Amino acid sequence: MKINKVELIKTAYDIRSLPSADRKEIAFAGRSNVGKSSFLNALLGIKIAKVSSNPGKTRSINYYLVNNEYYFVDLPGYGFANVSKTEKERWNILMNKYFENRANLTTVFLLIDHRHLPQKLDFTMVEWLKNLNIPFIFLLTKADKLKKKEKVQMYNNIKKSLSIYGEYLYIPISSKTKEGLKDALKTISVVLGENG
Ligand SMILES: Nc1nc2c(ncn2[C@@H]2O[C@H](COP(=O)(O)OP(=O)(O)OP(=O)(O)O)[C@@H](O)[C@H]2O)c(=O)[nH]1
Ligand SMILES: [Mg+2]
């Protein structure tokens, strides 16, 4: 799959504002600051998603229409400190409704920082997706920040800690060096049923 065209078509703060589920979509989920928006920008080859070193940049569900054919969805991150109870509740309700209502959702790409073991909320997200029978694939972000040896170690440790849930695909990526972006795009093409 080649990216030819990208448009931000919707910034939704509630479930009613989502575009109709009339085409295949994939979503990018993960802790706040893990690098979801950066990854989308790097993958799509365009600075379209807002990036910030302050966690909690993406609060809305952002819909990108790719090649006039697919929705790539940047989801608001979870797990940043200093967030009010009301805001957490809002996130919970929004995400719950999102995952339960998008019949066209093909796969969730769950981003985890390559440097750290998955945390409590990552496990919660995995359990959530499993319970709803939504397929998911892991992207290990910020791979550029690890030395070769550490990378191998962390890769194995992350995989091991999630093995209680089953066998999954793990793709190390870096939006900075572009490592893994081709692999990620190839996998995206496969889950969307594209050939090539
Ligand atoms: N070194 C390095 N830094 C990265 C990479 N990806 C993202 N970052 C940095 O990490 C910070 C957070 O990136 P974002 O893409 O905004 O993260 P996000 O997951 O969209 O965060 P929320 O919108 O808060 O959920 C920014 O300072 C980025 O520059 C990467 O591959 N390598
Ligand atoms: Mg973001």
88 belongs to a structural domain = yes
**The tokens of 101 are what?**
């209502």
Residue 195 has pLDDT above 90, yes or no: no
134 belongs to a structural domain = yes
Q: What is the pLDDT of residue 168?
A: 97
What is the atom index within ligand 1 of the atom nearest the CA of 51? 16
User: Tens of pLDDT along 131-157?
Assistant: 999 999 999 999 999 999 999 999 999
Mean pLDDT of 42-57: 80
The residue whose CA has the least distance to atom 21 of ligand 1 is 33
Better-scored residue on pLDDT, 109 or 47: 109
User: Residue 157 maps to which CATH number?
Assistant: 3.40.50.300
196 belongs to a structural domain = no
Range of the domain at 93: 6-191
Look over the chain and give the mean of its residue pLDDT values, rounded to a whole number.
93
Regarding the beta carbon of 187 and ligand 1, being less than 6 Å apart is answered no
Number of domains observed in the structure of the chain: 1
57 belongs to a structural domain = yes
